[in-house]
Chain A
């Protein structure tokens, strides 16, 4: 690279410019504003993503408050003490299982929801009504999980929840929506869909808007009905978007934030509700076992990367564009 650059500069000074190649200097002079703009996100990545990577070594060391990460002693068993400990810890294994199960259920039930919503919305003939519906559907996205958690309590608690009060006043018996594991999982998935389907449909609506109307017109000429147009034009046009989003979502299957389970769980459903993020918070931050939870976090990231790479590979094999 630098050789080529130097050659470029030299050739410029000696030989009259024949090639279209521009020298580094000239290039920078011309486009420096763009690079300055690029510097901001790069600095962000540097400060918040790359520098913290140095601290990953805590996973292999015995954490000490008053030493720098470079001076902390290596953990037992060649540094793998905390990995062994984690995989012997029943709580961690439960959290791992719950993370996978909850995220998988989210994917199965939550992923198609915005697609279906976008398709339905697209078929609405009244522009005004469509806008109103769309806006209302976005709104929950802006609610924090703490608020939703409290809403959930006010609506679904056995004695004091509004829904259960209604059921009881109609003569039924109350349903433990949030007080029993299996019900809780359904409530959790439901809240997730409710909170995000409107917002997630934006990208699909944008993709639909980009489909050439010619295709629909041609299909109509050939006598295609609404469903046929949806099936043969809209959905195939959405396919690349769907695949990219699916790959990204697969990457999250080992991850996921801690706010949602944290705001919704309670002591009675912990066996199904405790996920890695909440486990890390509880055991690591509150229990001060920083090494153990860094190990867990690193494990989570590595699996996440593997999942993304695999999904990307499969999608390319299937003839779709990957994300890179």
Chain B
């Protein structure tokens, strides 16, 4: 009897569960049919028009609410990225100027793509999202998860003058589909196109009587000299020396070295076709760059454990700060960032007043120049997920944070607190304390439409750039800036619409790329070719080749037999 009752109960639960699914399914089916991909826009547009009715002189009559994504860098001594001095400034301004109530939602900086994926999939993404990964946006757009910005940008053009003035057609329409005219995101603008350069310990060079290297050969002998003189340089810590340091992301952290093996005169077509990977894995020449790294690794000139530590780990930075690292390649201002906690400030505390990293430009290409391949003037991508019910309010937000005076305040803060004004009117940033500390340099995480110092006038910007890093001598910054701007090859916008083969594969390929770089660097010299070829084959068969093929096809469709863009 008991058994029978039990089985009935079980059967009932099964039936009930099926029924529940069925109902749930039907319900959502109905709702989805009313908001299918094409009709989303229509209904949103209607809403927007309705919104237009209670919208006058740039202000909503009824308070609108939007949620904005903000990177959380989790840095020591920082403030809550969702609530601090600067968010209050934005919130207050948006409420006063447009009657829009802004809330921030933090997303961990180093896993932002994963996090945004999860939020989008769960339907809880912020109204204004920002990411560095266009493929993520494209993938969600194909699933109907992203708003097409094109009609709004046109319709509200007069309401968003600051956004138009700052980004211009170039950046706003950078990703517009050439055939359908859809626009899934706007591209933030790079105020300076400086990318990565190489740094070396000035005090080590002085101690060993070396000159700053200007070629790869000189750089290599400098690394050897560091290693051979480890006990002079580090004393009892000699065994901890790392002459040249990279992270697991070799393609980025040795970019200038790798790029020096690329042909500076490479055609736009070749650069584009092989250019899905921004770490240049599939470009011609990269292999030789990695071969040199492999040689250095096997000579004991590099950090053995670089591949073990993942994204966002601070072990490598800590080694730099402790003074064990001789040279490294990184963002053009990396050792100067973060005020009191900058690498150079830490070095001075830990090692001595003369210890510091300075910029050098040692990797010559085949012409003897120092070509650096930088992207176009684009940076982060800002998009609105389909769950955004306030496209106008969200656009007004982008407009507000693109206003020159707002950018300036967010970048330099209050006079006397985060900056001083010098005699000739330049802005000298100083280390802030307490509430005024910025979680990211120049509040880059809040100024999502700009990357790089951009003050209200160009003159002021140029005057102030070198004074932007508290505690760092101006000439060091000027030197870095100069090197980062030497022999630039700026990327062009090859707009051929969506490449289907790139959809949903970005993460997989990025990891394969890192694996290829890491394994090739640590391979034994004899195995290098075998390992590299094997890993490249892997990368290509996992989707890399399909992308190259489709890019070639699309290029030929749009630009015919021409190899260069106009």
Q: How far is the CB of B131 from chain A (nearest CB, A)?
A: 13
Q: Are B504 and A287 in contact (CB under 8 A)?
A: yes
A and B contact pairs by CB, cutoff 8 A, 13 listed: A4-B4, A21-B1, A24-B5, A35-B9, A64-B143, A68-B28, A159-B303, A160-B315, A161-B305, A268-B519, A270-B511, A287-B507, A288-B139
- Chain B residues contacting A50 (CB-CB under 8 Å) are 13-14, 17
Bound CA span A268–B554, Å: 35
Chain B contacts to A: CB under 8 angstroms: 1, 4-5, 7-10, 13-14, 16-18, 20-21, 25-26, 28-29, 32-33, 35-37, 40, 113-114, 117-118, 120-121, 139-140, 143-145, 239-240, 248, 303-305, 307-310, 315, 386, 504-508, 511, 514-515, 518-519, 522, 538, 541-542
Q: Which residue of A lies closest to B136 (CB)?
A: A288
Q: Which of A64, A153, A168 contacts B144 (CB 8 A)?
A: A64
Q: Are B305 and A160 in contact (CB under 8 A)?
A: yes
Q: Which residue of B lies closest to A174 (CB)?
A: B304
Bound CA span A168–B307, Å: 20
- A266 contacts the other chain (Cβ, under 8 Å)? yes
Bound CA span A18–B515, Å: 78
Q: Of A213-221, A278-286, A304-312, which binds chain B?
A: A278-286
Q: How far is the CB of B557 from chain A (nearest CB, A)?
A: 25
Q: Are B117 and A288 in contact (CB under 8 A)?
A: yes
Bound CA span A153–B309, Å: 8
Q: Which residue of B lies closest to A22 (CB)?
A: B1
- Chain B residues contacting A71 (CB-CB under 8 Å) are 29, 32-33
Q: How far is the CB of A278 from chain B (nearest CB, A)?
A: 11
Query: Using an 8 Å CB-CB cutoff, how does the interface string of A32-73 with B read, 1 for contact, 0 for none?
Result: 000100100010011000110110000000011111111100
- Chain A residues contacting B5 (CB-CB under 8 Å) are 24, 27
- A106 contacts the other chain (Cβ, under 8 Å)? no
Q: Are A66 and B504 in contact (CB under 8 A)?
A: no
Contacts A69-B25, A283-B508, A289-B504 given; does A42 touch B13 at CB 8 Å: yes
Q: Categorize the interface residue count of chain A.
A: 35 or more
Q: Which residue of B lies closest to A35 (CB)?
A: B9
Q: Are B9 and A267 in contact (CB under 8 A)?
A: no
- Chain A residues contacting B538 (CB-CB under 8 Å) are 90
Contacts A267-B248, A287-B504 given; does A66 touch B511 at CB 8 Å: no
- Chain B residues contacting A35 (CB-CB under 8 Å) are 9
- Chain A residues contacting B113 (CB-CB under 8 Å) are 286
Query: Using an 8 Å CB-CB cutoff, how does the interface string of A177-218 with B read, 1 for contact, 0 for none?
Result: 011000000000000000000000000000000000000000
Query: Which label, helix, strand, loop or mixed, suits the secondary structure of the B interface?
Result: helix
Q: Are A46 and B16 in contact (CB under 8 A)?
A: yes
Among B13, B40, B514, which residue has the most Cβ atoms of chain A within 10 A?
Answer: B13
- A91 contacts the other chain (Cβ, under 8 Å)? yes
Q: Are A46 and B519 in contact (CB under 8 A)?
A: no
Q: Which residue of B lies closest to A65 (CB)?
A: B143
Q: How far is the CB of B304 from chain A (nearest CB, A)?
A: 4
- A1 contacts the other chain (Cβ, under 8 Å)? yes
Among A22, A27, A42, A160, which residue has the most Cβ atoms of chain B within 10 A?
Answer: A160
Q: Are B117 and A51 in contact (CB under 8 A)?
A: no
List 4 additional contacts besides A288-B121, A288-B139; criterion CB under 8 Å: A65-B121, A158-B304, A267-B248, A286-B114
Bound CA span A288–B120, Å: 11
Q: Are A66 and B518 in contact (CB under 8 A)?
A: no
- A296 contacts the other chain (Cβ, under 8 Å)? no
Q: Are B239 and A168 in contact (CB under 8 A)?
A: yes
The 10 closest A-B pairs by CB, nearest first: A65-B143, A68-B28, A66-B144, A54-B21, A158-B304, A50-B17, A159-B304, A70-B25, A267-B518, A157-B305
Q: How far is the CB of A158 from chain B (nearest CB, A)?
A: 4
Q: Which residue of A lies closest to B35 (CB)?
A: A66
Q: How far is the CB of A60 from chain B (nearest CB, A)?
A: 15
- Chain B residues contacting A287 (CB-CB under 8 Å) are 504-508
Contacts A65-B140, A268-B518 given; does A51 touch B17 at CB 8 Å: yes
Contacts A46-B16, A50-B14 given; does A267 touch B29 at CB 8 Å: no
Q: Are A65 and B542 in contact (CB under 8 A)?
A: no
Q: Are A91 and B504 in contact (CB under 8 A)?
A: no
Bound CA span A286–B505, Å: 9
| Count of chain A to chain B residue pairs whose CB atoms are closer than 8 Å in the complex | 133
Bound CA span A266–B144, Å: 35
Contacts A21-B1, A46-B17, A286-B114 given; does A66 touch B40 at CB 8 Å: yes
- Chain B residues contacting A22 (CB-CB under 8 Å) are 1
Q: Are B522 and A46 in contact (CB under 8 A)?
A: no
Q: How far is the CB of A305 from chain B (nearest CB, A)?
A: 17
Bound CA span A90–B538, Å: 9
- Chain A residues contacting B541 (CB-CB under 8 Å) are 90
Q: Which residue of A lies closest to B511 (CB)?
A: A282
Q: Which of B26, B308, B542 contacts A178 (CB 8 A)?
A: B308
Contacts A158-B305, A267-B248 given; does A54 touch B1 at CB 8 Å: no
Q: Are B145 and A179 in contact (CB under 8 A)?
A: no
Q: Are B32 and A67 in contact (CB under 8 A)?
A: yes
Q: How far is the CB of A105 from chain B (nearest CB, A)?
A: 22
Bound CA span A27–B6, Å: 12
Q: Are A51 and B13 in contact (CB under 8 A)?
A: no
- Chain B residues contacting A153 (CB-CB under 8 Å) are 308-309
Bound CA span A71–B31, Å: 11
Q: Are B121 and A51 in contact (CB under 8 A)?
A: no
Q: Are A70 and B504 in contact (CB under 8 A)?
A: no
- Chain A residues contacting B21 (CB-CB under 8 Å) are 51, 54
Q: Are A65 and B144 in contact (CB under 8 A)?
A: yes
Bound CA span A168–B238, Å: 13
Q: Are A268 and B522 in contact (CB under 8 A)?
A: yes
Q: How far is the CB of B329 from chain A (nearest CB, A)?
A: 19
Q: Are B507 and A68 in contact (CB under 8 A)?
A: no
Bound CA span A50–B37, Å: 30
Q: Which of B7, B117, B307 contacts A286 (CB 8 A)?
A: B117
Q: Which residue of A lies closest to B12 (CB)?
A: A42
Contacts A65-B143, A288-B504 given; does A70 touch B117 at CB 8 Å: no
Bound CA span A230–B118, Å: 53
Bound CA span A158–B117, Å: 34
- Chain B residues contacting A282 (CB-CB under 8 Å) are 507-508, 511
- Chain B residues contacting A160 (CB-CB under 8 Å) are 305, 315
Query: Using an 8 Å CB-CB cutoff, how does the interface string of A258-275 with B read, 1 for contact, 0 for none?
Result: 000000001110100000
- Chain B residues contacting A21 (CB-CB under 8 Å) are 1
Q: Which residue of A lies closest to B313 (CB)?
A: A153
Q: How far is the CB of A81 from chain B (nearest CB, A)?
A: 14
Q: Which of B1, B28, B32, B518 contacts A27 (CB 8 A)?
A: B1
Among A53, A158, A178, A286, which residue has the most Cβ atoms of chain B within 10 A?
Answer: A286
Q: How far is the CB of B298 from chain A (nearest CB, A)?
A: 13
Q: Are B519 and A66 in contact (CB under 8 A)?
A: no
Q: How far is the CB of A12 from chain B (nearest CB, A)?
A: 14
Q: Are B307 and A70 in contact (CB under 8 A)?
A: no
Q: Are B25 and A1 in contact (CB under 8 A)?
A: no
Bound CA span A51–B507, Å: 30
Q: Are B507 and A286 in contact (CB under 8 A)?
A: yes
Bound CA span A181–B428, Å: 52
Q: Are B145 and A66 in contact (CB under 8 A)?
A: yes
- Chain A residues contacting B508 (CB-CB under 8 Å) are 91, 282-283, 286-287
Q: How far is the CB of B549 from chain A (nearest CB, A)?
A: 17
Q: How far is the CB of B543 from chain A (nearest CB, A)?
A: 10
Q: Are B32 and A51 in contact (CB under 8 A)?
A: no
